Amino acid sequence: MSFLTYLINGLSLGSIYAIIALGYTMVYGIAKMLNFAHGDFIMVGCYVIFTICSTLSGNTFVGIIAAIIICTLLGVTTERIAYRPLRGAASPLAVLITAIGVSYFLENLALLIFGADIKSFSSVVKWNGVTLGDGSLRIQGVTIVTIAVSIVILIALQLFIHKTKEGQAMLAVAEDRGAATLMGINVNKTITLTFAIGSALAAVAGALLCSAYPSLSPYTGAMPGIKAFVAAVLGGIGSIPGAMIGGLVLGIIEILSKTYISSQLSDAIVFGILVVVLLVKPTGILGKKIQEKV
Amino acid sequence: MNKKRMQDQLITYGIVIAAYIIMEILILTGNLSSHMKGLLVPMTYYAVIAVALNLCVGILGELSIGHCGFMCIGAFFSAFFSKVTENMLPTPIRFFLAFVVGIAFAALFGFLIGIPVLRLRGDYLAIVTLAFGEIIKNVINAIYLGVDANGLHMSLKNSMELGLLPEGEIIVNGAMGITGTPHDSNFTIAVIVLLISLFVVQNLINSRDGRAIMAVRDNSIAAEATGINVTGYKMMAFTISAAIAGAAGVLFSHNITSLTAASQYFGYNASIMILVYVVLGGIGNIRGSVIAAVILYMLPELLRGLNNYRMLIYAIVLIVMMIFNWSPNVIIFRKMILSKFKKRR
Amino acid sequence: MALLEVNNLSISFGGLRAVDDFGISIEKGELYGLIGPNGAGKTTVFNLLTGVYKPNEGRIRLDGKDITRDNTIKINHAGIARTFQNIRLFHQMSVIDNVKVGLTERFRYSGLEGVLHIGRYRAVEKQVDEEAMKLLKVFDLDKERDVLASNLPYGKQRKLEIARAMATSPKLLLLDEPAAGMNPNETAELMDTIALVRKEFDMTILLIEHDMKLVSGICEKLTVLNFGRVLKQGNTKEVLADPEVITAYLGE
């Protein structure tokens, strides 16, 4: 039964990656930029929950809502102040470097406010979970909640994108920004909305991440952020189901290789898989093939 | 090569040499704190790797965010070589050979990694270079290598698995890395390495291969139609870039007592830091990379008095500078102000 | 024997036969036009001739040598150079460097000589510089030698693209809609340039064009493509007078 336990743990970690990757992939697909600071939005969300729940001993639910609101505002503000001025810059690297600057800024701001010491985060999921079979398979509450939340988010996002006007606008902007403008779509508003959704998802992912791995530091978001980006690329960046698949695959591989091969090498294996997948399919599992017209 | 470019190249060397002489005078007159003295070699090898990365990003036009991986290769292979031959060779020869080893292996890895990576495009290429950088760092962290009378022993588990004879020596100790590499790097050698890197890259740019590389960057389809071997030239530029990053690694490992494949030195964050130097110095502007590397490396140190605020200020400076330099609206605004200013005169 | 000999060339994209049973025979020194309505497959023919696409069927021979399966680079070395419908210059490089890229394969020295600026470097670079200047003079671009290619006016960008193609010293030059986007003055100048290239380099040229004035003014022979098939082939005057061709172009 232990394999099943690891598999479920992998699924849970993968779900967290998937939620982060959804934010990454939406921003990439629509704003055409790598938001390197996305991982740090997660960290901000965690600190908000930590402050409200542990320091001010507030309600968990209030904490999560506050984290979502603050992250959304953070995402929108960052886009407005730091990224939008660089839209249309001569090099796409300009906005990438700015995003790195934002990442440094958030990490060091957290360092200044909360210090470098690792805070122990108390899980937002109070449920202990279930025990199956003769007691050998125990699934933690947070694991089940994580998987469930990610499924709900995926469905909600798909519905939003395909069934609402705003979602259609996002697709149009992703496809061709110039044409979308001509069709009367407000590109700025659409991109702002994308950042809002992506950042809100980062807050949710943060709550789940720190509940499963309860140590919080200013750098908590960085590595999961990068892994989620890898997941988004693995699934085919710009594709929402792709981000989900990529996240799950990544989480499962990471947990299984940590368990069965080497915890030291697990990251190398995760990145190795990415390399192999991209060599076979250069635009990821569900990515569209791009061919330059001669 | 036309005169203007020749002059340009000479100015770059001149700046580096002048900066070197100023630093040496400051040291001789005792005007440089020992803390600042300790920063001279790192500052220089970061300039070297910035030159290497600019060759890849600015001249070849491929975004790499894993260049510190090549630095890591250069650092570990050369440190390993120097440890093994520490008592066999006189220092100058050993250090020279350490460079040969470090550069050769970095070039080899650059070549091997380049084969798959350079088939990809744009952001996909970037993320795979990041992946390779992390893989290199991770694998080196898991390697145990020891030497005894029976030869070389290797393990991926722990040092006990090596089965060394009692008098054997562990050289690479997993995540503990290599300790006690001879401290051969110094500021003078570092500056010489920087000058050589500049010489190689700037000469390359002004040669037929360099033009072909830039042609690939600007329009690979047209380059092919003009008979340029696109894949070959991509490989060439990427390999040379990796080799120079390896040279920076050699300087790195021979300047540190305990060499570990830590994220802060060789992870993607470190690679990104170098990318920041390259972009702020000007993409494709080799001299700019050197100047940006020196200023940006020193900036947090100069802000040291501000303590905890320094990295925060660094981040803000970075964001503001990017917007100031690159934002289309700001550029128009700047031009407007400038033209008004000129009119008044 | 003809310089370019193409038989039964076909290619399909997802079931659609973009080029179907295409054949052409171009003699040395000829100025040949390839015309047809939009979407007739003209650029696809160019892409087949230059190895961008591999044909499903057919054979391409240049100067008696089979180049059907060669890649773009090899085909360029074999002697076909081209320009593009949407200008593709090395836009961040200077005008003269654009031409020098075209000279890369003809004037050689090793990578080591290039990096260290030793050996043949100086002598060969001097030759390259002279050769490039010679070409720029022919195309009246010598005054702009150090201007960035992207800063050239449109008409001159077209010229530079031709100059770069000529730098590879081709046997056959393919021009893909060279007059696209040009005003009548620029088109007239372009016609002069093409005539000059023919005279100066004794060049064989195949060009795609929509501008009928240009086509009837300079082309000796024409092939008309319609829906990927050859509709008509022969002397310019006869082809343009053909009722079928007129229908294809002007509709019913």
- Residues 6 or more apart whose CB falls under 8 angstroms from that of C3 comprise C26, C27, C28, C30, C62, C63, C171, C172, C204
B314/A226 Cβ within 8 A: no
Mean pLDDT of B191-216: 97
| pLDDT at site C252 | 46
Rounded to the nearest angstrom, the minimum Cα separation between B110 and chain A is 15
> Chain C: nearest CA to A174, how far in angstroms?
24
Smallest Cβ–Cβ distance between A104 and the set B57, B275, B315 belongs to B315
B280 — contact with chain A (CB < 8 Å)?
yes
Chain-chain contact of C72 with B225 (C-beta, under 8 angstroms) = yes
Quick one: which of C177, C139, C131, C175 has its CA closest to C159?
Answer: C139
B1 compared with B75, residue with greater pLDDT: B75
Amino acid C181: pLDDT: 86
- Say whether residue B279 is in contact with chain A using an 8 A CB cutoff: yes
**C250: pLDDT strictly greater than 50:** yes
User: Quick one: what percent of chain B has pLDDT higher than 70?
Assistant: 99
Q: What mean pLDDT, rounded, does chain B reach?
A: 92
- Among chain A, residues having any CB pair with chain C shorter than 8 Å are 294
In tens, the pLDDT along C144-197 reads: 999 999 999 999 999 999 999 999 999 999 999 999 888 888 889 899 999 989
For testing the chain C interface, which of A91, A293, A294 should be mutated: the one with the most C CBs within 10 Å?
Answer: A294
User: Among partner residues C72, C111, C164, which is closest to B209 by beta-carbon distance?
Assistant: C111
- Specify the pLDDT at position B344: 66
pLDDT band at B20 (very low <50, low <70, confident <90, very high): very high
pLDDT, residue B120, reads 87
How close A294 comes to chain C (CA, Å)? 8
Query: Which residues of chain A are within 8 Å of residue B283 when distances are taken between CB atoms?
Result: 91, 93
pLDDT in tens, A223-261: 899 999 999 989 988 888 999 999 999 999 999 999 988
Quick: pLDDT tens for B104-135. 999 999 999 999 999 888 778 888 999 999 99
Q: What is the pLDDT of residue B162?
A: 83
CB nearest to A88's CB, from B119, B156, B328: B328
Give B1's pLDDT tier (boundaries 50, 70, 90): low
Closest listed residue to residue B134, CA positions, set A271, A263, A232: A271
Classify C63 in phi/psi space as left (phi over 0), alpha (psi -120 to 50) or beta: left
Between the CA of residue B115 and those of A12, A84, A279, B77, what are the distances in Å?
A: 35, 36, 10, 21
Chain C 22-51, residues with CB within 8 Å of chain A CB atoms: 43, 47
pLDDT of residue B240: 98
Higher pLDDT, A139 or B261: B261
Token pair for B25: 């005078």
Q: How high is the ipTM of this complex?
A: 0.93
Give the pLDDT confidence score for residue A290 in this predicted structure.
Answer: 64
Q: Given an 8 Å threshold on Cβ–Cβ distance, is A268 in contact with B138?
A: yes
Nearest by CB to residue B229, choosing from C73, C97, C165, is: C73
Name residue, tokens 């292979």. Answer: B77
Chains in contact with B, counting 3 or more C-beta pairs less than 8 Å apart as contact: A, C
Interface check for A280 against chain B (CB to CB < 8 A): the answer is: no
Amino acid A116: pLDDT: 87
Closest-CA residue of chain C to B229: C73
- The residues near B22 (Cβ < 8 Å, ≥ 6 apart) are none
Mean pLDDT of chain C: 92
Residue A7 has pLDDT above 50, yes or no: yes
Chain B environment of A85 (Cβ under 8 Å): 323, 327, 329-330
Q: Which residue of B has its CA nearest to C96?
A: B211
For A272-290, what is each residue's pLDDT tens digit?
999 999 888 888 888 776 6
Contact predicate C120/B249, CB 8 Å: no
Q: How confident is the model at residue A132 (pLDDT cuts 50, 70, 90)?
A: confident
**Does residue A1 have a pLDDT over 70?**
no
CB burial class (10 A; 0-12, 13-18, 19+) of residue A166? middle
B221–C90 C-beta distance less than 8 A:
no
**H-state helical runs in B85-121:** 91-117
Read off the pLDDT band of C251 (50, 70, 90): low
pLDDT category of residue A37 using cuts at 50, 70 and 90: very high
Residues of C whose CB is below 8 A from A294: 43, 47, 52, 84
Q: Which residues of A touch B269 (CB under 8 A)?
A: 222
pTM of the model: 0.92
Region A52-66: what's the mean pLDDT? 87
Task: Return the number of other C-beta atoms located less than 10 Å from residue B163's C-beta.
Answer: 12
The predicted structure's pLDDT at residue B121: 82
Q: Does B165 contact chain A (CB < 8 Å)?
A: no
pLDDT in the model for residue A77: 96
From the centroid of its chain, how far is CA C187?
A: 17
Q: Does A188 touch chain B (CB under 8 A)?
A: no
Mean pLDDT of B32-44: 92
Task: State the pLDDT at residue A293.
Answer: 67
pLDDT, tens digit, 9 for 90 and up, residues A155-171: 999 999 999 999 999 99
Residue B164 pLDDT exceeds 50: yes
Of A131-135, B191-195, B280-284, C25-29, the least confident: A131-135
Q: Is B275 on the interface with A (CB under 8 A)?
A: yes
pLDDT in tens, A81-101: 999 999 888 888 889 889 999
Q: What is the mean pLDDT of residues A120-140?
A: 79
pLDDT attached to residue B345: 59
Position with higher pLDDT, A254 vs B299: A254
How far is C246 from C227, CA to CA, in rounded Å? 15
Q: What pLDDT was estimated at residue A142?
A: 87
CATH class, B3-302 region: mainly alpha
Which residue is closest to B227 within chain C, CA to CA? C73
Contact A42, A202 (CB under 8 A): yes
Question: Which subunits count as partners of chain A given 3+ CB pairs below 8 Å?
Answer: B, C
Alpha-carbon C2 to chain mean position: 18
- How close does chain C come to A182, measured CA to CA in Å? 23
